Each structure stands twice: as structure tokens, then as C-alpha cells.
Amino acid sequence: MADTGLFNNVYNPDVLSCLANLSNDEVFTPPDVVNAMLDMLPQELFQNPDTTFLDPACKTGVFLREIAKRLIKGLEPQFPDLQERIDHIFHKQLFGIAITELTGFLSRRSVYCSKFPNTEFSVSLFDDEQGNIRFRKIKHTWRDGKCVYCGASQSQYARSDDLETHAYEWIHTNKPEEIFNMKFDVIISNPPYQLSDGGGNGASAKPIYQLFVQKAKKLNPRYLTMIIPSRWFTGGKGLDEFRDEMLHDRRLRVIHDYPEASDCFSGVQIKGGVSYFLWDRDNEGDCAVFSHKGDIVNGPVVRPLLEQGCDTFIRYNEAIDILHKVMSHKEKSMENLVSARMPFGLPNTYKGNKTKKSESDLIIYVSGNDREVRGTTAYVPNKEVTKGREMIPWEKVYIAKAGSGSDAFPHPILPKPFYGAPYTVCNESYLVIGPFKNKAECDNVMSYIATKFFRFLVLLKKNSQNAPKGVYQLVPQQDFSKPWTDEELYKKYGITKKEIEFIDSLIRPMDLDGGDDSGN
């Protein structure tokens, strides 16, 4: 007798789950994440034969495949015949735009069971070889070395016709509604995240995921959901306008945030984490925020995207009450004591002279390869300091403007600060904090920076490795005639034991006298 339990006992993994873990360049979406996104939608959409769905950045076809599963079940009463039901769904309801020719083949194979849906192997027969999952080879439109649509570098992406140019159809048009000549009820996707913009000797990249969201909004669907990097919460390179637009859009009704991207995409590290959202065209209101950490989900907490007196989105639900306690004291911000980028006008490529060549030369702190030393010293002619000359005689504190490269929590958040004596300067690798009365006061400031309390408040504004002046906005100034400890700060602001445990889960201790555990 045949073993009827054979298929239940044999390990048969979902091929799309396997693909989801293959690459950091194009992040494939696991089916369980896709279904979590679909769960945010009103489920009656999958019982309506007129609902239309679009994925404008198909990679594996997993979004369309999982939608098809729900429609096949939900439309059974209207279409009892399975083949009729499948034909209706694939011809009338599901549409996709592949990001490359290869992902077009993969998506059609996932959805139609054949990369050519006009053959006998397709579960639904089309008249052409692409069906409703199309790929068109698009060219960038160059102007002054950049693509006018996506900002890609001409030197990086002006390639021959046989090479992939990553000119995605969805964002290389002013009229996305003409691609299929129809409206869509739901637009859902995991778009490409970035493209090289030619800066930093080819290492610099420009975010493009926001362009996919903005083009989708232009079609005005009933619902929009995408999974994208969370850096947009605080803005930054190419994201400030998008951030402002999103955080003031009361149609953004749900956010699921993963500060550690690997909690969403297993094995993938994306600085600042990832999040997916639900935008509901016809219903405005506060946003239901879910914070994910490992298997623990905090939420939903229904709240405004912008807290009163704060110009950024606070991603941690648990942080809201802590922030309110701190802000109720109405103290001056540490941001007022922190310099802007390149405080003395010297770029990070400036390394100074190894020896002093003139009595007027200044000691300069530059980034070096010695991780045991906070600031490698050299000398710079006084006349080469083109900015911030008023800071030269200050008693000050230096801190690197970039933190640890790790994404794992607990995290140091900031590098260790170090004392800046009068008549010293730094290159772009560091920021200046000051002025202060004397070295003792600088030491007290550094004791404050070393507290978990200080670095936790920085974390609320810091969504990437960089730590510019703005990340210090929510940190209050203190009386720097004395040193500070976490215990004193927790007592001052009424931080509860549970809140302290939450801070401890995110922030690593900092020993100013020990080895360099902070990534600087």
C-alpha cells in the first residue's frame, strides 16, 4: 500500500522562501512577509472579481502569486469552475512590471507556472509571451551626467544594450497610468532600494525606493503598501522631501517597523532597518504603529506620525512616554552645542602633515586606521582652516560623525567622544561640541554622552550610521559643572524600571577609559 503521508513527511521548502535569502543587492521578499502585508488590506478585496492589483517592481512574482491564492479561494462562489476562475484572475485582476528581463521570466514562472504564458504549460493561456507581467527595456535620460528620472550616474549605467541598465519602467515616465492604461485598487511591492550616483569613486548610492512610492501615489489607488528601508523616517540624502510628504500624510494608516532588517529579511543587513506601510486613500487618521524586535511585536499603538514639538517620526512605541517626560522639562537642546558638518572646512580626505613645520601650525585630529586611538593627530597650517575659526581656542569635545557599522542591538549608537584642547582642530570625520569653561567641564560632558540615556535619545533621530548635528535634537542640556550617571538621569526624568529595561535592550554600555567598543 502506498504511503499516503509521503508528501507530509518530505521536506519541500517554498522556492521563494529560499530565494528571499540569496542576495543583499536585490532583496527578495519572503512569502510570510508578503502575506503579512496582504493581511493589512480589507479581506473583502479578495472576494471581489473587480479588484485590480499591481506590482510595479516584480522580482520573483511572490506578491502576485500570494494574491492569486487568496483570489482563487475568495472568488469560488462567483466562479465555481476553477479554470474559469483562474483565467479571470490572471487576465483581469493581476498585473506586474518586472524590473529586469530575468525577473520577468521568474515572475511569470511563479505566477503562470511558465515563463511563457502563451504556451500549453501556462495555467492560463495568453496571446503573447509576457501576459500581464511585462518587461520593457527602458533607457535612462541623461542630463549633466545624471538620469533626470532616477538620478543614476551616466558613468555607471550608460551601458551597451546587452547589459542591464536598471532603468526601471515605473519610475522612468511622467505618465505611469499609461503603462497599462487602467486604474488599480491595490499597488503593492518591494521596490529596488538604491542606485550608484557616481560619487565617492563609485561607492556613493542614491535612494530610489521613494520614487516608486511617489509614482504609485500619482495613480491614486485605493490602497498602497510597500516594504522599504526605514531611513526615510529621518530623511537624509534624497529623502527629505519624501519624508516630509509621508509624515504629513494622514492617509498613512499602518506602519510595521523592523529596526533590525534581519528580523524581516533573514540574513540581510540594511542600515536603519526596514518597514512596510498601508496607505488608505479614503480614510484619514492617526497611524497604527507596530515595532518588531525578534519575535516580539509591540503594538499597535495608534498615534500621530509626528509628536508635538518633534520633527521626526519616533519609531519605537516604548519611547513615546520617555520622550514626553524629557520634553516636559523644556530644556535647551544639545543640538545647539554641536557643530555642523566639516567644522573647520577640512574634508575627511585631508590628513595634515606628520610633522610641525611652523610655530603657528595647529594639531588636527583626523580619522586613521588605529582603532585603539580616538583621533589620529597630525598638523595643519593655521591659514588652511577656512571655517569655524572661532572654535579654535575653545575647550571642546570631539566626536566622530559616523558610528559603528553594526546593526545588532544592544548598540553603542555613538562613537566615544574625546577631549579637544584649545588650539586643536579636526577634519570632516569629527564634529565639535562646545564651548566649555575648562577640561573638567568637557569631562563632565563626556560622562553625559557615555550614559545610555543620552545615546537612547540620539537613537530616536538616528536611522543610519551617520550621526550629524540633527541627531542630538532630542537630548537636553544638563548642568555640566558635575559628571552625570544614568541613575541620576533616570531619577530626574522619572524613568520607570520597565523603561530602563527597554533602554538597556537597545543601548550598549560605554566605558570611556576602556578599549574602543564603540566602532570609532
Q: Print pLDDT tens along the chain (520 aa).
A: 444 443 344 445 565 655 554 433 467 899 999 999 999 999 999 999 999 999 999 999 999 999 999 999 999 999 999 999 999 999 999 999 999 898 999 999 999 999 999 999 999 999 999 999 999 999 999 999 999 999 888 988 888 777 778 899 999 999 999 999 999 999 999 999 988 776 655 557 789 999 999 999 999 999 999 999 998 998 877 898 999 999 999 999 999 999 999 999 988 888 889 999 999 999 999 999 999 988 899 989 999 999 876 778 899 999 999 999 999 999 999 999 999 999 999 998 999 999 999 999 999 999 864 444 566 899 999 999 999 999 999 999 999 998 765 567 888 999 999 999 999 999 999 999 999 999 999 999 999 999 999 999 999 988 778 899 999 999 999 999 999 999 999 999 999 999 999 999 999 999 998 654 444 4
Residue that the C-alpha cell 542614491 belongs to: 206
The three cell numbers locating residue 392: 579654535
Bridge partner list, 287: 303
The three cell numbers locating residue 225: 503598501
Contact between residue 223 and residue 252 where contact means Cβ atoms under 8 Å apart: no
- Half-sphere exposure at residue 1, Cβ-oriented, CA atoms within 13 angstroms: 3
Residue that the C-alpha cell 563632565 belongs to: 444
Domain topology for 334-506: Adenine-n6-DNA-methyltransferase TaqI; Chain A, domain 2 (3.90.220)
Residues of the chain with CATH 3.90.220: 334-506
Contact between residue 442 and residue 397 where contact means Cβ atoms under 8 Å apart: yes
Other beta carbons less than 10 A from residue 220's beta carbon: 12
Domain topology for 14-317: Rossmann fold (3.40.50)
Q: How far apart are CA 500 and CA 322, in angstroms?
A: 10
Q: How far apart are CA 363 and CA 432, in angstroms?
A: 14
Note the pTM of the prediction, 2 decimals.
Answer: 0.83
Task: Write the CB contacts of 153 (distance below 8 Å, at least 6 apart in sequence).
Answer: 145, 146, 195, 196, 197, 198, 199, 202
Contact between residue 27 and residue 226 where contact means Cβ atoms under 8 Å apart: no
Q: How far apart are CA 196 and CA 263, in angstroms?
A: 26
Q: How far apart are CA 212 and CA 228, in angstroms?
A: 10
Nearest CA among 221, 242, 208, 174 for reference residue 55: 221
- The string of DSSP codes covering 138-199 is ----EETTEETTT--BHHHH---TTS-----GGGS-S-GGGTTTS--SEEEE----EEE-S-
Q: How far apart are CA 381 and CA 350, in angstroms?
A: 12
Strand 287-293 and strand 223-229: pairing?
unpaired
Query: Tell me, what amino acid is at 27?
Result: V
Contact between residue 187 and residue 219 where contact means Cβ atoms under 8 Å apart: yes
Nearest CA among 90, 82, 88, 36 for reference residue 61: 90
Residues of the chain with CATH 3.40.50.150: 14-317
Separation of CA 162 from chain center = 32
| Radius of gyration for the alpha carbons in the chain, expressed in angstroms and rounded | 27
